[in-house]
Structure 1
């Protein structure tokens, strides 16, 4: 799984570091200098969407520096809410990455396109799953049409995959409530349950339970990725006894399922020295 680019986590102090093309309008946006920003735009309307060397506009700088007033001024002046930078990220991507509810609400009200994908195929919806609070995710879900919740990124992962990966059960519940498909395999053949089980934190049992309670079927429980590994294989590999216990508590859990190298979860437990897990079987 590809983790969302950390370059989006940019502090105000380093926004202009090494940037010879940073302009006055970008500086005004970062500093929250609304009067200067409006004067510059009044003198040259093209400045409202001026790009730096990364393709970032003043509106994007407002998001990065949390300057809502300046963002509102830019939008009223006609700034393009869906302009993308060199990585194809929009201001809405950045707001989602930062988990900034106020900005997301503002940008969505101005018809920010949550369906737009960056170079990794990530939409703002994917990016909201990394935060412990489900508030931003819930906001986006209100704007989506049926069927849009399962849009996939470059690795064929949905927001549900990412929510499971980040071990956010409240996000999982919200997505399932909005009819997200829990059986979509990603580029490695993994379904969200694989990613939920592939977590060392004992609290992952809550995410695992959310998924299984939605569809406690043998097919889901024993789903094999393209290497033949089931969620139980991954739970054993991580030494997560709590998750192993939950998975094996289901009558349909196949503890003798072979992966492509003819290894069962028990083989994995012995091979990796996960003796505590071996006791569960």
Structure 2
């Protein structure tokens, strides 16, 4: 089993780690370092073209996008730079922006016609690159605002979830599961994301996938006939193998015992609660109000008894109405957008605002489709 890494120049000689003033000799260096005055000089005074690549086949727009210089990206596009231009491995400037999570630069590219679903020679789209480098905010941004396909397979049938699991980026995994990424997708080798997480011994990634998945993901075998637990054991990741094996045994041991619980969950607990309250009301009437072996009750006691029965019946009627209706939502200050079919601001968050997401990825709830921390903040503001 092997994964082909993305080939993109993210650490180039154009990046200066010494802190010294860089020597900029061409439009590529000016684009990489964000020097707009020099870039302007090269273009307007020297007549240098921004639509031609350097000796390695890389474009000025790619360098500006990689290092997140949106003003340079805008200038390059306005002066002949092509957002659709590709290098030797057919990667666009948007691919390069995804490497370092350059949201601002990517926004300029996409607003000027860049296509979010363009694949390179390996079939990697911007969502794959973002998952490979753990750029969770960038991935969320292009999915929520530009509707990028977060479940798209590459040439080997691997989705962004496969890559995030392989690289061990648990926050990216949480986001993809929050978006309902298909956890059971198998690549050309029959491997699911859990297989790749187990292969690398990524414990947190395995735990996130295991808790969000079902027994099927634990038992599925790759083309060689190995389950995720077996792959982890074979690679020497015994702690991961032990956790996955124990989870599988837990599923097997309580499967039959929990069958009635699962049926109860399908029905819901409201009918059970209704029956309990109704039965208690009947017992009260029969044992107190209509009891033949008790002394004759006074008018006050009778009034109290029938008042209690009336309140109980009224409560049951209100309970039926409440359990069959939409409970509604808490209004917020506005400006939030619905996702995944959620109805009302209670189940919505502003996905296009990167500030709402920074550092909060562990607060995602794939079941309720809310960002727990942001939801609490909204409630405190009401």
Report the TM range for the smaller structure's normalisation. 0.7 to 0.9
Would the aligned equivalents of 2:67 and 2:102 in 1 still touch at CA under 8 Å? no
SS at structure 1 position matched to 2:62: helix
**Mapped contact 1:198–1:238 kept (Cα < 8 A):** yes
- Aligned-pair CA distance for 1:116: 0.9
Residues 23 and 123 of structure 1: CA distance in aligned 2, closer, same or farther (over 3 Å):
farther
Report the alpha carbon displacement of residue 188 of structure 1 after superposing the two structures with TM.
0.9
User: 1:221, 1:252 within 8 Å by CA — same for their partners in 2?
Assistant: no
Change in CA separation of 1:31 and 1:195 when aligned onto 2, cut-off 3 Å:
closer
Q: Equivalents in 1 of 2:242, 2:252: separation in Å?
A: 11
Q: Radius of gyration: which is bigger?
A: 2
> Secondary structure of the equivalent of 1:153?
coil
Distance 1:42 1:7 in 2: 28
Rounded to whole Å, the distance in 1 between the matches of 2:87 and 2:211 is 41
1:210 to 198, 208, 211: 208
The 3 A distance-change label for structure 1 pair 56 and 196 is: same
- Structure 1 gap segments, 5+ residues each: 15-21, 255-281
Distance 2:15 2:171 in 1: 34
Which residue is 1:113 aligned to? 115
Q: How many residues are matched?
A: 242
Shift in CA distance, 205/253, structure 1 to aligned 2, threshold 3 Å? farther
Partners in 1 of 2:100 and 2:83 — Cα distance?
17
Structure 2 gaps of 5+ residues are 17-23, 254-382
- Which of 220, 240, 244 is 2:217 aligned to? 220
Q: TM-score scaled to structure 2, two decimals? A: 0.57
Structure 2 distance, partners of 1:223, 1:43, is 63
* Residue of structure 2 equivalent to 1:124: 126
Q: Match of 1:56?
A: 58
Residue 111 of structure 1: CA displacement? 3.6
Q: CA deviation at 1:235?
A: 1.4
- Quote the Cα distance in structure 2 between the aligned partners of 1:13 and 1:248: 46
Structure-2 residue corresponding to 1:99? 101
Q: Is the 8 A contact 1:235 1:243 kept in 2?
A: yes
Deviations 1:74-126 (A, max 9, x none): 12335222211111011111111123333233323334322111111111111
Cα RMSD of the aligned pairs, angstroms, is: 2.8
Match in the other structure for 2:335: none
Aligned to 2:231: 234
- Sort the Cα spacing of 1:59 and 1:245 in 2 relative to 1 into closer, same or farther, 3 A: same
Q: Is the Cα contact below 8 Å between 2:65 and 2:106 reproduced in 1?
A: no
Could you give the per-residue CA deviations for residues 221-260 of structure 1, whole angstroms, max 9, x where no partner exists?
1111111111011111233233223212233469xxxxxx
CA distance in 2 between counterparts of 1:188 and 1:238 reads 17
Contact 1:128–1:136 (Cα < 8 Å) also in 2: yes
